[in-house]
Amino acid sequence: MSFENFVNWTVSIDCGATIGNYQGQIKSVDAINQTLTLKYAFHNGILIDQDGLNNVNINAKDIIDLNLLSQPGSSFQIPKTINKKSNNEQSQQQLKAAPIANNGSKSSISSGVNVSLSSRSRSSKSWSDEATNENEETTTNRFNFDSSNLSSIKNSSIVQSYSQIQDKYRCDQMILEHNNGPIDYEQIQLPVPTTKKFLTDEGLVVPGINIELRNRLFASAEYHGYSLERRIESMGRCTSDMCLHLLGGTQRLLVKNRHQHPTIVVLACLTEVQGAYAISAGRILASRNIRIYLYLPPNTNSIQNSFIENELKLFRTTQGIITNDVTDLPRSPVDLILNGLDAANNSDSVLFAKPWYRDIVQYCSRLQASVIGVDPPLDGGAIECKYSLVPLLPLVSMSSKNVGRLYLCDLGLGQKVFQHLQIRYASPFGAKSFVALHDS
């Protein structure tokens, strides 16, 4: 139904406590400027103009609710005049339109004279007085006419019908149309088409990459100044954010809940960068007064990688517990397990040959706590993961069947890192440091 069908309808508009209520007949609707014009208008029960011919423009975003009172030609009509208490009172006042408050700014109401609404004195006859008897006989057609409805006007169309009006939007939904064309959901494009794509909760497409391209991206990042230490810190902080999210957010760490602070077990290898990721995340979580148990493989020779040594040195500044014995790990309750033990370069067959690894697998299986794989191998490893967190871009061969629910970590790399390899990149993360991925 186009807006012409609503011209001359009698309506009542609620603009909230600050602006007030308006009643009158719809004269026109401006779809471009998002305004609705009333004639013979009353404001809070007071006729705005003596002649009743001046117009009132109301912004769509100021409208909270709108009631259709009567159709054109029905017996319910707006009074064209009002009775005055005395000639002296009439000479002392002028009935004029007032500005509409709009987020601190003022949108003028079209009338012949502009004077503050406070200068009006109430008339002896108001809208409510005139309409009381008629309302008993007229059925009020009521529908939700907030700004989201009026903003949906296209090509001089106000609404389709009340049965087709959309429900109210949530506070996090965009209700205004944009003029930038259709949304581009493939904001990340590789120079060579990928064989697998993932989807975010918003529907954005995240392409999968192979190991070779991932290593080239890491090399490009280091070329542009993103060192390995920066990557480890970013990955550790993102992993800790995800842990806090799974633990219940800030509520779990309130002072009044200190009697039930969470416990997390961190498993870290000493030969691969995945171990450094897990140790970094454990250190950040331990600084939040979370009980952290860091398990390192026993009978390990001197650590050969300096980045592992640096992360262990930083971890020792916290109150986290380091152990090489699975019997020292808590039996219950344990909230989460961070698995940085399984890595792409660690073969399951080689690890299973070691008794300590079999003990860890049994420990995790018996504990039944949620396991987060930190950049796990493609097959997920022997320790079954409920969640997995990967940096940069997901690998083509990854599947939720093997690695659980897949999440992507934001390393904070600039676009030039990707452009260096002819990759068009736009961040899919929004306000978070991680985003869930789904198989397309």
Q: Output DSSP code: residue 376.
A: -
pLDDT band at 349; cut points 50, 70, 90: low
- What's the confidence (pLDDT) of residue 174? 62
pLDDT of residue 114: 35
Domain around 60? 3-70
d(CA 373, CA 269): 13
Assess if residue 150 is contained within a domain.
no
CB-CB contact of 292 with 318 (8 Å)? yes
- Which one is predicted more confidently, 71 or 161? 71
- pLDDT band for position 428 (50/70/90)? very high
Nearest to 267 by CA among 353, 378, 351: 351
pLDDT at 180: 60
Where among 48, 70, 92 does a domain terminate? 70
**CATH number, position 17:** 2.30.30.100
Instruction: Tell whether 177 is covered by a domain.
Output: no
Beta carbons within 8 Å of 316's beta carbon, 6+ residues apart: 322
Higher pLDDT, 149 or 304: 304
**Domain CATH code at residue 313:** 3.40.50.10260
How high is the pLDDT of residue 24? 87
Residue 273's pLDDT is: 92
Q: What average pLDDT does this structure show over 156-162?
A: 41
pLDDT at 434 over 70: yes
Identify whether 207 is part of a domain: yes
Residue 105 belongs to a domain: no
| pLDDT of 54 above 80 | no
Q: What is the pLDDT of residues 350-406, one digit of tens each?
A: 677 788 999 999 999 998 899 999 999 888 788 889 999 999 999 998 877 778 899
- Whether 17 and 38 have beta carbons less than 8 Å apart is answered as no
Considering the domain boundaries, does residue 146 fall inside one? no
At 223 the three-state DSSP class reads helix
Beta bridge pairs of residue 142? 67
As a whole number of angstroms, the distance between CA 315 and CA 279 comes to: 7
SS3 167: coil
Q: Name the nearest CA neighbour of 188 among 427, 433, 430.
A: 427
Residue 328's pLDDT is: 93
Helices (H) and strands (E) in the chain, counts: 12, 19
Look at residue 234 in the predicted model and tell me its pLDDT: 95
Final residue before a domain boundary, out of 25, 45, 70: 70
Whether 48 has a pLDDT exceeding 90, the answer reads no
The answer to whether residue 169 scores a pLDDT higher than 80 is no
pLDDT at residue 138 tops 70? no
Same domain flag for 204 and 333: yes
Indicate whether 281 pLDDT > 90: yes
Name the domain boundary from 16, 36, 70. Answer: 70
Tokens coding 27: 């004269």
Instruction: Tally the domains of the chain.
Output: 2
- The pLDDT value recorded for residue 83 is 42
Is residue 92's pLDDT more than 60? no
Q: What is the pLDDT of residue 320?
A: 94
Pair (206, 346) in one structural domain: yes
For the segment 63-76, the average pLDDT, to the nearest whole number, is 79
Per-residue pLDDT, 4: 63
**113 has pLDDT over 60:** no
Asked, for residue 131, whether it belongs to a domain, the answer is: no
Let me know: does 24 contact 39? Beta carbons within 8 Å: yes
Residues in the chain: 440
Q: Is residue 319 classed as helix, strand or coil in its secondary structure?
A: coil
Write the single-letter amino acid at 406. Answer: L
Paired with 374 in beta bridges are 389
Lowest average pLDDT, out of 36-50, 115-129, 185-199, 308-322, goes to: 115-129
Least confident span in 2-11, 141-150, 236-245: 141-150
Rounded to an integer, the average pLDDT of 170-191 is 72
Q: Tell which residue, 41, 30, 152, 167, has the closest CA to residue 96.
A: 41
The secondary element (H helix, E strand) that includes residue 228 is helix 228-247
Cβ count within 10 A of residue 254: 9
Residue 172 lies in a domain: no
Q: Is the pLDDT of residue 100 over 50?
A: no
Residue 336: per-residue pLDDT: 95
Question: Where is pLDDT greater, at 188 or 80?
Answer: 188
On whether the CB atoms of residues 78 and 49 are closer than 8 A, the answer is no
DSSP structure class, residue 27: E
Residue 173: pLDDT band (50, 70, 90) is: low
